[in-house]
Structure 1
Amino acid sequence: MDDDESLSAWAERLDRKIGRLRAVPLVAGDGPRGTHLAPDAPRVIQLWNGHEWEPHGFAADLAEARRVLHPDSGAVPSPEPAPKLGPGTGRHRKPQAGR
């Protein structure tokens, strides 16, 4: 909570997080902390209930966990085509107007 933020605004911000999911790898010891580490390790899907993370499901590996956490990512194609770039090989080419 920031000093400038009201208590009601802070509570609303926290309530928006209720229902969030996360995937935690099942590894021995402290294990890897990054989601990209141990991609073949099984994952526990957890749900934030407003006070703590509770078990919600299970995924066999990182790829399945990503499909559970983000079911519609990649399913919808980009609505607008990529801009056409001008000639040249530089990193800083700008899209051409009217092309």
Structure 2
Amino acid sequence: MDDEPLKDWAERRDAKIGRLRAVSVVPGNGPRGSHLRPEAPRAIERWNGHSWEPHGFAANLAEAKAIIYAETKEPPAPGPVPKPLGTGTGTGTGKHRKPQAPRTHGDGRAPA
């Protein structure tokens, strides 16, 4: 097995201590994504190495981002945008593609 040494795992875990996140404060099973209801209040939570603990409160998403990204002054840049599914030409070479059979006329002759 390729188990990671405990020392490496502990270093990765400890590097995340102090990380902040914003959680929407909505009743019941309401929207969970940050982009949904940006005007909703947010609870700011801090990772202590074992669980998320209350850290603060923000009136909306913009205020929450200002608290979370206070050190960097701006949120992280988004990564590359993936190509939407189904926009290809269908001529890909991936393993899931079946090889295209040569076209023939109904009598078995190849087209001219």
Q: TM-score, normalised by structure 1?
A: 0.69
Structure 1: which 4+ aligned runs deviate by more than 4 Å? Answer: none
Deviation per CA, 1:21-72: give whole Å up to 9, x if none. 0000100112212111110100000000011100000000000001111121
State which drifts further: 38-47 or 3-12. Answer: 3-12
User: Distance in 2 between the 1:22 and 1:3 partners?
Assistant: 32
State which drifts further: 25-34 or 15-24. Answer: 25-34
Q: Which amino acid aligns with 1:36?
A: H
**Partner SS for 1:57:** strand
User: Distance in 1 between the 2:2 and 2:25 partners?
Assistant: 38
Q: Matches of residues 1-99 of structure 1 in structure 2 within 5 Å?
A: 3-71=2-70, 72-73=73-74
User: Distance in 2 between the 1:49 and 1:21 partners?
Assistant: 10
Instruction: Give 1:83's aligned residue.
Output: none
Instruction: Give 1:79's aligned residue.
Output: none
Between 1 and 2, higher relative CO (CA 8 Å, sep ≥ 6) is seen in 1
Q: TM-score, normalised by structure 2?
A: 0.61
Q: Which amino acid aligns with 1:38?
A: R
**Partner SS for 2:53:** strand
| Superposed displacement of residue 3, structure 1 | 3.3
Q: Which amino acid aligns with 1:65?
A: A
**Could you say what the CA RMSD is over the residues aligned between the two structures, in angstroms?**
1.6
